[in-house]
């Protein structure tokens, strides 16, 4: 009877340890998802800045070409 109780206790503690590990993994996945969302937001902001810079560059180039043409 004592051995059976010890076996059940070992199984119980092993099960608890497994649950703790699963909870830790879920926490890590949640943190990774949060970091991925933040990275996605940053990438979107950078894409917007690159687009604005590209538009500004085209405008400046067109203006410079027009001024050069007028000077000729």
Distance CA 19, CA 44 (A): 37
- The span from the CA of 19 to the CA of 26, in Å, is 10
* Separation of alpha carbons 69 and 59, rounded Å: 15
Residue 1 gets which letter from DSSP? -
pTM for the whole structure: 0.64
Look at residue 2 in the predicted model and tell me its pLDDT: 83
Write the pLDDT tens digit of every residue in 18-34.
Answer: 999 999 999 999 999 99
């Amino acid at each position: 009877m004592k051995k059976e109780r010890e076996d059940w206790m070992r199984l119980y503690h092993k099960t608890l340890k497994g649950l703790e590990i699963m909870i830790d993994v879920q926490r890590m996945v949640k943190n990774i998802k949060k970091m991925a969302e933040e990275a996605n937001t940053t990438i979107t902001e950078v894409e917007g800045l690159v687009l604005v810079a590209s538009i500004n560059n085209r405008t400046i180039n067109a203006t410079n070409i027009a001024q050069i043409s007028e000077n000729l």
